[in-house]
Structure 1
Amino acid sequence: MEDYRRIADRLAEEIYSGRLKAGERLPPQRVFARRRHIAGSTAGRVYGELVRRGLVVGEVGRGTFVRAAPPPSGRALAEATHDQDPRVKVNLELNYPSVPGQSELMADGLAPLLRADVLGDATRTLPATGTAAAREAVAGLLAGCGWRPAPEQLLFAGNARQAIAGVLASLVRPGGRVGVEALTYPLVKEIAERIGCTLVPLATDEEGLRPDAVAAAHRTAPLSALYVQPTLHNPTGVTAGDRRKRELAVVVRDLGLPVVEDRVWAFLHEQGVPFAAYAPERVHVVDGLSKRVAPGLTVGFLVVPEERVAAVGAALRSGGWTAGRFALEAGTRWIRDGTVERLVGRKRVDAARRQRVVAELLDTFTVRADPNAYHAWWELPAPWRADTFTAAAAARGIAVTPGPAFVVEHAGQPGQPGQPGRSERSERSGQAGPPGRTRYVGYARSQGAPDAVRLGLASVPVPALEQALRTLRDVARGRP
Structure 2
Amino acid sequence: MRRRRDFRELADEVAREIEAGALRGGERLPTQRAFARRRGIAVSTAIRVYGELARRGLVVGEVGRGTFVRAAAPHPGGAALTEGPPRPPGSQPPGLRSPDVRSPDVRSPGLRSPDVRSDVRSPGLPSPDVRSPDVRSDVRSPGLPSPDVRSPGSGPGPAMVNLELNYPLVEGQSALMARALGPLARADVLLEATRPAAPDGTAAAREAAATVLARSGWRPDAGRLLFAGNGRQAIAAALSSLVRPGGRVGVEEVTYPLVRAIAEQLGVRLVPIAVDEQGMLPDALAAAHRTASLAAVYVQPTLQNPLSVTAGAERRARLAAVIRDLGCRVVEDGTWGFLAEDAPAPLAALLPERVIFVDSLSKRVAPGLTLGMLAAPADHLDALARSLRSGGWAAGAFALEAAVRWVGDGTVETLVAAKRADVEVRHGIVRERLIGPGPGPGPGAGAGAGPGAGAGVKGRFRIDPRSYYCWWELPPPWRAETFVAAAAARGIAVTPGPAFAADGQRAGQAVRIGLASPPTEVLAWALDTLVDIAVGEAG
Question: What range describes the TM-score normalised by the shorter chain of this pair?
Answer: 0.7 to 0.9
Partner of 2:403: 331
- Note the residue ranges of structure 2 that are not aligned, 5 or more in a row: 1-137, 437-457
Say whether residues 1:106 and 2:170 are aligned partners: no
Letter in 1 for 2:372: G
Q: Deviations over 1:409-448 (max 9, x none)?
A: 2xxxxx6x4x3xxxxxxxxxxxxxxxxxxxxxxxxxxxxx
Native 8 Å contact 2:356 2:374 kept in 1? yes
Partner Cα distance (2:513, 2:157) in 1: 19
Letter in 1 for 2:160: K
- Are residues 117 and 107 of structure 1, via their aligned partners in 2, closer, same or farther at CA, if it must alter by over 3 Å? same
Say whether residues 1:292 and 2:364 are aligned partners: yes
Partner of 2:260: 189
Partner Cα distance (1:259, 1:390) in 2: 34
Partner of 1:360: 432
> What's the secondary structure of 1:219's corresponding residue?
helix
Letter in 1 for 2:360: G
Q: RMSD between aligned alpha carbons? A: 1.9
Native 8 Å contact 2:208 2:403 kept in 1? no
Offset at residue 360 of structure 1 (A): 1.3
Say whether residues 1:346 and 2:418 are aligned partners: yes
- Are residues 48 and 95 of structure 1, via their aligned partners in 2, closer, same or farther at CA, if it must alter by over 3 Å? closer
Say whether residues 1:470 and 2:528 are aligned partners: yes
Partner Cα distance (1:119, 1:133) in 2: 18
Say whether residues 1:388 and 2:482 are aligned partners: yes
Partner of 1:199: 270
Which residue, 111, 136, 142 being the options, matches 1:49? 142
- Are residues 176 and 150 of structure 1, via their aligned partners in 2, closer, same or farther at CA, if it must alter by over 3 Å? same
Letter in 1 for 2:218: W
Mapping of 1:60-459 within 5 angstroms?
76-77=146-147, 86-272=157-343, 273-364=345-436, 365=458, 366-409=460-503, 417=505, 419=506, 449-459=507-517
Letter in 2 for 1:188: V
Partner Cα distance (2:217, 2:496) in 1: 37
> What's the secondary structure of 2:226's corresponding residue?
strand
- Rg larger in 1 or in 2? 2
Offset at residue 85 of structure 1 (A): 12
Native 8 Å contact 2:234 2:374 kept in 1? yes
Partner Cα distance (1:282, 1:333) in 2: 31
Partner of 1:433: none
Offset at residue 359 of structure 1 (A): 1.2
TM-score, normalised by the number of residues in structure 2: 0.67
Native 8 Å contact 2:139 2:258 kept in 1? no
Partner Cα distance (1:325, 1:86) in 2: 40
Partner Cα distance (1:138, 1:85) in 2: 43
- Are residues 174 and 141 of structure 1, via their aligned partners in 2, closer, same or farther at CA, if it must alter by over 3 Å? same
> What's the secondary structure of 1:286's corresponding residue?
strand
Q: Deviations over 1:147-192 (max 9, x none)?
A: 0000011000000000000010000000000000000111100100
Partner Cα distance (1:329, 1:46) in 2: 31
Offset at residue 46 of structure 1 (A): 12
Partner Cα distance (2:306, 2:228) in 1: 24
TM-score, normalised by the number of residues in structure 1: 0.76
Q: Deviations over 1:299-322 (max 9, x none)?
A: 100010111111001000000000
Partner Cα distance (2:397, 2:501) in 1: 36
Letter in 2 for 1:147: W
Percent of aligned pairs sharing the same letter: 60
Partner Cα distance (1:451, 1:397) in 2: 21
> What's the secondary structure of 2:470's corresponding residue?
strand
Native 8 Å contact 2:247 2:269 kept in 1? yes
Offset at residue 77 of structure 1 (A): 2.6
> What's the secondary structure of 1:302's corresponding residue?
strand
Compare the two structures and name the one with the higher helix fraction: 1
Partner Cα distance (2:352, 2:231) in 1: 20
Letter in 1 for 2:520: V
- Are residues 47 and 453 of structure 1, via their aligned partners in 2, closer, same or farther at CA, if it must alter by over 3 Å? closer
Say whether residues 1:460 and 2:518 are aligned partners: yes
- Are residues 216 and 296 of structure 1, via their aligned partners in 2, closer, same or farther at CA, if it must alter by over 3 Å? same
Q: Deviations over 1:193-249 (max 9, x none)?
A: 000100000000111100001100000000000000110000000000000000000
Offset at residue 88 of structure 1 (A): 4.4
Partner Cα distance (2:243, 2:157) in 1: 40
Q: Deviations over 1:322-346 (max 9, x none)?
A: 0011111111110111001000100
- Note the residue ranges of structure 1 that are not aligned, 5 or more in a row: 1-44, 54-74, 410-414, 420-448
Offset at residue 287 of structure 1 (A): 0.3
- Are residues 46 and 124 of structure 1, via their aligned partners in 2, closer, same or farther at CA, if it must alter by over 3 Å? closer
Partner Cα distance (1:243, 1:387) in 2: 37
Native 8 Å contact 2:206 2:223 kept in 1? yes
Partner Cα distance (1:337, 1:47) in 2: 38
Partner Cα distance (2:386, 2:284) in 1: 32
Partner Cα distance (1:356, 1:142) in 2: 28
Offset at residue 120 of structure 1 (A): 2.5
- Are residues 99 and 213 of structure 1, via their aligned partners in 2, closer, same or farther at CA, if it must alter by over 3 Å? same
Partner Cα distance (1:360, 1:85) in 2: 32
Partner of 1:35: none
Mapping of 1:8-19 within 5 angstroms?
none
Partner Cα distance (2:366, 2:226) in 1: 20
Native 8 Å contact 2:251 2:298 kept in 1? yes
Letter in 2 for 1:325: A
Q: Deviations over 1:114-154 (max 9, x none)?
A: 11222232122210000000001110121121100000110
